[in-house]
Amino acid sequence: MLARIKEFLGMEAKPKEEASQQEVEKVAEEEKAKPRIGYIHLSGCTGDAMSLTENYDILAPLLTEMVDIVYGQTLADVWWDDENPMPEMDLALVEGSVCLQDEHSMKELLEVREKAGLVVAFGSCAATGCFTRYSRGGQQANPRHESFVPVADVVKVDLAMPGCPPSPEIIAKTVVAVINGDMDYLQPMMDLVGYTEACGCDLQLKVVNQALCIGCGTCAMSCPTRAVGMTDGRPELNEDRCVKCGICYTQCPRSWWPAERINMDLGL
Amino acid sequence: MVLGTYKQITLGRSTDKQIQKISQDGGIATGLLCFALDEKIIDGAVVAGPSDEMWKPKATVALTSDEILAAAGTKYTLSPNNWALKEAVRQYGLEKAGIVTIPCQTMGLRKMQSYPFGVRFMADKIALDVGIFCTENFSFESLRTFITAKAGVDFDLVEKMDIGNGKFWVHTQDDVINFPIKETHGYEQSGCKVCLDLVSELSDISTGSIGAPDDWSAVMTRTETGDTIFKQAVDAGAIELKPMDEGKFGLEMLTKLAKSKKEKAMKEIDRRKELGLPVPYKASSEKEDPLANV
């Protein structure tokens, strides 16, 4: 299975002679230790879950053979209430920001933190608040619901995976890294936990203002809403289109630089 | 290793007479892309094409050899090619995109491929990245200023710009003017000052004029992909080779300039760290090889 995912991701397959007894034992061991995963849906649009499911080629075996989905309303029909306690989880993916006025969301999030080994802010709503940052309440279904914050504002988060939505590829890569215990790959996601106040204007504040911009256009390439363009070799933000997902700054080669991983991926 | 990891280093030039005529040096980028397009290795390419304004490039998606040829030649200013990759993949539906990048753009691309947080189904669409050597880059206004003020040439009359032998050369129809490259210092964009990469260390194939005689380019193949495509192009006769001179005007010069760019950048990186200014790279005290691009 792992080989299939690696093939899908274009990761280099091991030469045959190495795929020996050792490998078989490793796979057997993996079988034993299938990570228990939960999916918690707070204030998000389900786009992150949909992106996960867009790993068509690997989805069925992923969900059935590689991990146990033990909790979640969308991916597994499991609900939590006073009679049915939330199960223990190795990893909980939290989609959506948390509404401070929504007692149910707050209670669920706090319970997840208790029950999960690792909490992942999955997608930009959970990681940075994303477009729920614009909420001001005064609307149905509950006019009182006005304050939506990244989950890290309320509970300790272990990994953040921004993206509106995160690409299917980063989700698959992360799953592989978690299964392999590849902490080096996950390190940037640990670092991104602290990046909760995101905005397209970060490009100006943290890159151009800091004499780091080189006009490569990666920010404009990655913006999911085309809020970022390039004018005279510098990013130009259309604030009306910005959803505050933080992807432009996250992908900028001048925000953080994963040199070792890139060399490894390229076989250099 | 100041030239990054590479499989082969050589001199090369395109055998196509038309490309030779219009390209900057050996026409490697143009020649390779045209070859890859003919052979269906790529189905289009992102290049720094012409815009409405003279010498101001526009990141362009080229679908034909003619469009690739129209982008031949170096423009010493910013062309955000990574931005146009989105257009190439989303609007033009390219499945196998070629792209020409300078080192910082290569870095943005490769980071996106290793960590494609928000960039869905784009990482696997880059079939060939041709990296260009780059010492530094200029904003369009900087370029215009020193061409008009230092060389005293009307921008619209310039036919070719070139850097070589320590000089910036400006060709017009009936004149060739030069001034010391040192005089462009102070005009370069400041983001370049922390750049540790002159030779596009992370590209599939990198190429540039440094270390090559006139009308030839130095070429380094780096990834498996790059090496394979380059060999195909050579076997097909699209590119001819000649061994790189190891000496003062060849490999030695390339090594020297790459090293000096790294040393200068490390000084600036260390200085910024001391000041508490952000910089994505490690301080020289934090890494084994103080000149590595990390």
Is the complex ipTM more than 0.90? yes
Contact A215 B137 (CB under 8 A): yes
**What is the distance in angstroms between the Cα of B170 and the nearest Cα belonging to chain A?**
22
Contact B104 A214 (CB under 8 A): yes
Tell me which amino acid residue A30 is: E
pLDDT at A15 > cutoff 60: no
| Other beta carbons within 10 Å of A67 | 17
**pLDDT-wise least confident of A22-26, B30-34, B176-180:** A22-26
pLDDT, tens only, A152-193: 999 999 999 999 999 999 999 998 888 888 999 999 999 999
Query: Where would I find the beta strands (DSSP E) of B165-276?
Result: 167-171, 176-180, 205-208, 217-221, 239-242
Range A2-194 classified under CATH 3.40.50.700: yes
Q: Do domains A2-194 and A202-266 have the same CATH topology?
A: no
Comparing alpha-carbon positions, the chain A residue that sits nearest to B115 is A170
B138-187: CATH architecture: Roll (3.10)
Q: How many CA atoms lie within 13 A of B190 on its CB side?
A: 10
pLDDT, tens only, A229-264: 999 999 999 999 999 999 999 999 999 999 999 999
Report the pLDDT averaged over residues B20-39.
96
Q: What are phi and psi of B16, to 5 degrees?
A: -75, 120
Classify A202-266 by CATH class.
Answer: alpha beta
- CB < 8 Å to B202, chain A: 262-263, 266, 268
Comparing alpha-carbon positions, the chain A residue that sits nearest to B5 is A268
Q: Nearest Cβ partner of A254 from B78, B123, B280?
A: B280
Contact A232 B84 (CB under 8 A): no
Q: How many angstroms separate the CA atoms of A202 and A193, rounded?
A: 16
- CB < 8 Å to B138, chain A: none
Spell out the domain ranges in chain B: 8-137+194-286, 138-187
Which has the closest alpha carbon to B146: B177, B124, B174? B177
Specify the pairing of strand A98-99 against strand A148-149: antiparallel
pLDDT at A4 > cutoff 70: no
Comparing alpha-carbon positions, the chain B residue that sits nearest to A231 is B80
Query: Where would I find the beta strands (DSSP E) of A204-253?
Result: 228-231, 234-237
Q: Indicate the burial class of A235 (C-beta count within 10 angstroms; 0-12, 13-18, 19 or more).
A: buried
Enter the tokens of residue B48.
């720094």
Contact A217 B193 (CB under 8 A): no
Specify the pairing of strand B8-14 against strand B217-221: antiparallel
Crossing angle of helices B224-235 and B28-38, in 10° steps, is: 80
Contact A251 B108 (CB under 8 A): yes
Spell out the domain ranges in chain A: 2-194, 202-266
| Other beta carbons within 10 Å of A107 | 11
Q: How many CA atoms lie within 13 A of B215 on its CB side?
A: 9
